[in-house]
Amino acid sequence: MNDAAETGPAIRPIVIGNWKMNGLAAALAESDAVAAHLREAGASPADAMICPPATLVAAMAARLSGGPVGVGGQDCHPEQAGAHTGDISAAMLADAGASAVIVGHSERRADHGESDALVRAKANAAFAHGLTPIICVGETLDERDGGETLNVVGRQLAGSVPDEAGGAAFIVAYEPVWAIGSGRTPTSAQIEDVHGFMRRQLGARFGAAGEAVQLLYGGSVKPANAAEILALENVNGALVGGASLKASDFLEIIAAA
Ligand code: PEP
């Protein structure tokens, strides 16, 4: 991974699977297989986590408890409880055995009109209930073509990461919207450009804590491109959608870290 002398503290990578709205109970066989393989292999080059749909969080967490694969949620409501039909709170995710939660995924920003302020409130809810927020940012294709990438990412980062994050663990995932599920990925130089920018912004805001934040890349990561992406400067892991659904693909990505 990154050379600590040149790039700050050594940061242990993490590979996180986002199953999105995929997976019935039978899919727990895939997460079981990931855990079994990592357990048998012993020391892993990276931490691993799976964020299944809410319906599977409790069952997956129970099956994987104490093992090498963490379990996270895909979203949470900013409030702890109340009249919010269909929503799930950070407290509920923690109660179900999750240790983290994705907030601000571009699909939620687009499908549910989520603002940076709402994402920040969700991240704060995660902190309040002992969950690590995985805060997602990323530009659309129009924004990239318009030369707006760093402005957009900088604005999302400033607005979505709470001030409270300086004293708690959090993860940031850079996910260009146009790379998600599309088979297209930015060039290595483009990824390093954005990740270096995020590192400087977080370092300026949070000091040593910002230097140590795990910065993940997400968007069409697969076994074939994982090694190249995960070796880039300031890339401390990956958020993986489609390729996390099959244990064998996900394990190859973890091994590439
Ligand atoms: C995601 O949605 O978080 C993602 C990275 O998806 P995919 O890997 O399928 O592009």
Which residues, 6 or more positions from 151, have their beta carbon under 8 angstroms from its beta carbon?
Answer: none
Closest ligand 1 atom to residue 222 Cα is 8
pLDDT of residue 4: 40
The answer to whether the CB of 219 is under 6 A from ligand 1 is yes
Residue nearest to ligand 1 atom 3, measured at CA? 241
Query: Contact, 217 vs 173, CB < 8 A?
Result: yes
Q: What is the pLDDT of residue 9?
A: 73
8: number of Cβ within 10 Å:
16
Q: What's the pLDDT at 2?
A: 41
Amino acid residing at 59: A
202 within 8 A of 210, measured Cβ to Cβ: yes
CB atoms within 10 A of CB 65: 11
228: helix, coil or strand? Answer: helix
Question: Which residue in this structure is represented by tokens 């409130």?
Answer: 121
Regarding the beta carbon of 18 and ligand 1, being less than 6 Å apart is answered yes
pLDDT at 23 over 80: yes
Query: Annotated catalytic sites, by residue?
Result: 105, 175
Q: How many CB atoms lie within 10 A of CB 167?
A: 9
What is the number of residues in the chain? Answer: 257
Verify whether ligand 1 is closer than 6 Å to residue 175 (CB atom).
yes
| Predicted confidence (pLDDT) at residue 1 exceeds the cutoff of 50 | no
Q: Percent of the chain, pLDDT > 90?
A: 92
pLDDT at 86: 96
Q: Is 92 helix (H, G, I), strand (E, B) or coil?
A: helix
